[in-house]
C-alpha cells in the first residue's frame, strides 16, 4: 500500500491496510483520472527545486526590477541654517504644483516597467 503513509504508531496500520485492500477489491476500476479535464491541467508538472539557481543574466535582471519602480525625489539641502526651510519650501511647491500630475504618471510607468 505505497500510496498511503500512516505515521501515528497508535493507529493499527495492519488493520487499516487490510480494510483498504478489501474495499479496493470491491471497487470497479477508475477511469484515467490523471488525464481528465482540459489538456492545460495535465501540463502542471512539479518543477525541480533548483529553479533558484541563477542564470548568468539574473543579477542584471534583479537590478532592472529594482529600478523598475520609480521613486519620488527626496529633497535635501546642504545650506547651513536655512537648509530645512529650503527643503520644506521645495516639498510644499512640489505638493502644490506637480505632485498630483506627476505621481499618477510615475505609477503608470512603474506598472509598465514591472
Partner 1 sequence: MKAHQIIPSIITGDAISNHILEIDARLRQWGYDAHIYAQHAAPELENRVHSYTELQQHLDAPDDLFIYHYGIYHHSVNFFRAAQGKRLFIYHNITPANFFAGWDKTNERICRIGRMALGSFNDCDLALGDSDFNRRELVDADFAEVKTGVLPIFLTLSQFENQPSDTGLARQLRQPGIANWLTVGRVVPSKAIEDVIRLFFAYNKYINPDSRLYIVGSDRLVSYRQALATLVEELDLQEQVQFSGRVSPAQFKTYYECADLYVTASHHEGFCVPLIESMYFNVPILARDATAIPETLGDAGILFADLGYAEAAQMAHIMISDTAVRRQIIAKQQERLAFFAPDRVETILQDTLLRLGLPDGR
Q: How far is the CB of 75 from partner 1 (least distance, A)?
A: 13
How many C-beta atoms surround the C-beta of residue 26 within 10 A?
A: 6
Whether the Cβ atoms of residue 86 and residue 79 lie closer than 8 Å to each other: yes
Q: Which residues contact 103 (CB under 8 A, 6 or more apart)?
A: 72
Q: Least distance to partner 1 from the beta carbon of 90, Å?
A: 17
Binding of residue 10 to partner 1 (CB under 8 A): yes
1 binds partner 1 (CB under 8 A): yes
113 lies in the site for partner 1, by CB under 8 A: no
Among residues 80, 19, 106, 101, the alpha carbon closest in space to that of 1 is found at 19
Number of amino acids touching partner 1 (CB under 8 A): 48
Phi then psi dihedrals of residue 24, to 5 deg: -65, -35
| Binding flag, residue 73, partner 1 (CB under 8 A) | no
Among 2, 14, 73, 78, binds partner 1 (CB under 8 A): 2
Nearer to partner 1, 15 or 81 (CB): 15
Q: How many CA atoms lie within 13 A of 42 on its CB side?
A: 8
Q: Give residues in contact with partner 1 (CB under 8 A).
A: 1-11, 16, 19-20, 23-24, 27-28, 30, 33-34, 36-38, 40-41, 43-47, 49-52, 54-55, 58-59, 61-62, 65-66, 68-69, 71-72, 74
Amino acid at each position: 500500500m505505497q500510496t498511503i503513509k500512516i505515521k501515528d504508531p497508535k493507529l493499527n496500520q495492519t488493520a487499516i491496510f487490510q480494510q483498504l485492500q478489501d474495499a479496493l477489491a470491491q471497487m470497479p476500476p477508475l477511469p484515467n483520472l490523471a488525464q481528465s479535464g482540459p489538456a492545460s491541467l495535465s501540463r502542471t508538472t512539479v518543477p525541480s527545486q533548483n529553479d533558484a539557481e541563477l542564470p548568468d543574466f539574473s543579477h542584471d535582471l534583479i537590478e532592472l526590477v529594482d529600478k523598475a519602480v520609480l521613486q519620488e525625489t527626496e529633497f535635501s539641502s546642504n545650506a547651513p541654517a536655512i537648509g530645512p526651510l529650503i527643503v520644506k519650501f521645495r516639498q510644499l511647491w512640489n505638493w502644490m504644483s506637480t505632485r498630483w500630475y506627476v505621481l499618477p504618471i510615475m505609477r503608470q510607468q512603474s506598472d509598465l516597467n514591472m
